[in-house]
Amino acid sequence: MRTPLLTQNQTGIEELPIRLAHRVKELDELPRSLGDMPSIIKVKNWYAQSFQELIELPPPEITSELKATFRDAAKNSQSLPQSTPNLAIPQSKPTGKYYPTIGHRYYNNFENIKCTPPILSYTDSFVKAIENVKRRHDPVVTTMAQGIIEYKQHRKTSMIDADVQQFLDRFYMSRIGIRMLIGQHSALYRGPFMRNYVGVICTRTNIKDIAQDAIANARFICEDHYGLFRAPEVKMFCPGDIEFMYVPSHLNHMVFELLKNSLRAVVERFGPDYEDEYPPIKLVIAHGKEDITIKISDEGGGLPRSGIPVVWTYMYTTAQAQELEPEFNKSEFKAPMAGFGYGLPISRLYARYFGGDLKLISMEGYGTDAYLHLNRLSNNAEKLPGILAVISKQQQEEEKEVEIDLPRLDRGQLMRILSY
Ligand code: W6P
């Protein structure tokens, strides 16, 4: 087996085949009653295929002449990392500027270096390969859900729901990590290169803007689904503009998911004919030294306390979807406003991925409060390898050389991020 050149920059992308291999092993070691389900096997094969594709990616041809060219260039330029494995420089970046990547810098004004076709085409084919992996794995969540349905229909053993729950929580968390890794690497290579962004991480994520966006989308989906003229109102309370480092798409996903649940509860409690009487949903944003919390409160009638754990389970939700929607199929699975779906447990995983959490507190007969706790990732940075970066604000505003620091994470957080 040839060793592929996976270490292109320090996004940790070289981890990818290892993670994929771990998932193959875990899927393979599931109790047979679950692991033998056709959909689970399908998913396992995707992971195996992706692993193989990466391992077999032909390495670039690096001639000794090329090596010498780079060595000379490294000598002439103090700041060029001596051991830069990142040989191919994306052509789309402006000349002469430093571009932040994680732990490395990209340069594209190597006057005396020609990025020879083999190297460029390797980097290119590498990014294409990982993007292809990402695309292949798009339907993993729905296919695993299908696998759980198959398992429930063929259940022969006493494997309890808690085991399935634990497995899926781990499995989906790992999926978030893998997709983050690919997304980050591909965004750093391909762009778009936007101000305040490092790959898919926005160093100045504006919660208010994201919440506003999620509110508009969730209300639109709600109106569409129930045929309403006006969905319940969502009142936002936000003390000014709060900016922090986060992955905007994750934040959007979570807030949107919570709002859909609240809107659904309100509309279903009062019925579609009482549009003018819906009590508004309240969205409160608070920030302190450590936490940023978003609370979403609805008066949708709430859940009994015994119903709360059920909201987080994967097995229950598939069962529900199946019973409530006889024509349930894959395409409907992701339908807007559909059931509890997998939206809540997966949103909680997104929150936990960066050290946050998602909690529900309900008053049966009245309504539900969802608390989305986000971690304020420290600017007071310590250099650590990883996939996160903080760019100091002043330096960025001055558009000077950008110093890249990594956020201070406690050991637990770091291990979590690095090990998924
Ligand atoms: C409900 C059930 C629920 C789940 C998640 C968020 C909000 C709500 N409201 O009634």
Of residues 98, 102, 110, 106, the one with CA closest to residue 74: 110
pLDDT of residue 59: 67
Q: Tell me the CA–centroid distance for residue 357 and ligand 1, in Å.
A: 16
pTM higher than 0.95 = no
Known active-site residue 260 = yes
Mean pLDDT of the chain: 75
Q: What is the ipTM of this complex?
A: 0.98
Q: Which of 9, 206, 261, 375 is catalytic?
A: 261
Amino acid at 300: G
Q: Cα of 270 to ligand 1 centre, how many Å? A: 15
- pLDDT (0 to 100) of residue 44: 97
Name all residues whose Cβ lies below 6 A of ligand 1.
Answer: 258, 261-262, 265, 298, 300, 302-303, 311, 344, 360, 368, 370
403 is catalytic: no
Strands (E), 39-133: 99-100, 105-106
Residue 261 bears catalytic tag: yes
Give the chain's length. Answer: 420
Of the candidates 22, 93, 152, 253, the residue annotated as catalytic is 253
Confidence grade of residue 124 (pLDDT, cut at 50, 70, 90): confident
State yes or no: is 287 an active-site residue: no
Nearest to 369 by CA among 377, 357, 358: 358
Confidence at 416, pLDDT banded by 50, 70, 90: very low
Is the pLDDT score of 402 beyond 50?
no
**DSSP string spanning 295-324?**
EEEE-S----GGGHHHHT-HHHHHHHHHHH
Residues 142-172 have pLDDT tens digits of 999 999 989 988 876 666 688 899 999 999 9
46 Cα to the center of ligand 1, angstroms = 34
Environment class of 329 (CB within 10 Å of its CB; exposed 0-12, middle 13-18, buried 19+): exposed
**Which has more pLDDT, 341 or 169?**
169
pLDDT at 380: 33
Rounded alpha-carbon distances, angstroms, from residue 385 to 18, 198, 199, 326, 414: 17, 15, 16, 49, 9
Kindly report, residue by residue over 248-301, the tens digit of the pLDDT: 999 999 999 999 999 999 999 999 889 899 999 999 999 998 899 999 999 999
